[in-house]
A = this chain, B = another copy of it.
Amino acid sequence: MRSTKKSSNRSPNSSPETADRIQQAAIREFAEKGFTKTTIRGIASAAEVSPGLVIHHFGSKEGLRSACDDYVFTAITEAKAANAHYSTMAMEIVFADPVMRTNIDYLMKSLLDPSEHGQRYFEHYIDLVEGYLADGFAGYTFRQSTDRRGQAATIAALALAPMMFADRIQTALGTTDVKDTLTRMAPHLLDLYLNGVLDSIPDVEADTDPNGDDQP
């Protein structure tokens, strides 16, 4: 197992940073292929290390995943705090850093696997949105609802969608990369957030369903 204490050059045969290299390689692999399709042998190969060493440092594939979850979670939280003075999540800045790009991809994969960490992050994100709803964000104020938690969950889900479907949208629109894709979407998202989607409400109709949503 990976030693918890981190002293300098404490171990016989060098390399306490080997474990870090393995973890970074794992994050990249997980971010690209997801947890299930990623193999320990693939991670070991990417880190230029034997498969056994991966297990030796992290105990198991699940243990490695937990370590990666923790790392990515705090890395993103810290980056978010560092960029808090921007009025947006600073797409241009976040996506300029390839490491942060990988971390975000990792989180997206994490959100889809039915894992505990993914759920925790999702609820953390809802909390964030709920705070914005209550206190506003960078001068913006938000529409209010009596069911603020439900409202926050709804907005959080929609806010994650562009990143979640970035690859599919990129293929559909022929954009070159994620940044290009999000740039293309930005004005439509702004318009949507400011004014909604619908332009007019139809006259009353005899439909039995009172809901006006548009879900599949």
Please tell me which one of the listed residues B119, B158, B212 contacts residue A194 in the complex, with CB atoms under 8 A apart.
B212
Q: Cβ of B168 and Cβ of A122 under 8 Å apart?
A: yes
Interface size on A, residues (CB 8 A): 83
Number of copies: 2
A93 proximity list for chain B (CB < 8 A): 209
A1 within 8 A of B: no
The chain B residue with its CB closest to the CB of A168 is B122
Instruction: Tell me if A195 and B196 are in contact (CB < 8 A).
Output: yes
Stretch of A12-20, A22-30, A64-72, A169-177 contacting B (4+ beta carbons < 8 Å): A169-177
Task: Report if A142-B197 is in contact (Cβ < 8 Å); known contacts: A86-B209, A157-B161.
Answer: yes
In the complex, which residues 166-216 of chain A have their Cβ closer than 8 Å to any Cβ of chain B? Answer: 167-169, 171-173, 182, 184-203, 205, 207, 209, 211-216
Question: Is A99 an interface residue when CB atoms closer than 8 A count as contact?
Answer: no
Given contacts A126-B172, A139-B201, 4 further A-B pairs with CB under 8 A are: A154-B188, A164-B164, A193-B213, A193-B214
A selection of 17 A-B contacts at a CB cut-off of 8 Å is: A87-B202, A87-B205, A87-B207, A89-B213, A91-B213, A139-B203, A143-B195, A143-B196, A143-B199, A145-B187, A147-B187, A147-B188, A158-B192, A159-B214, A182-B215, A186-B211, A193-B213
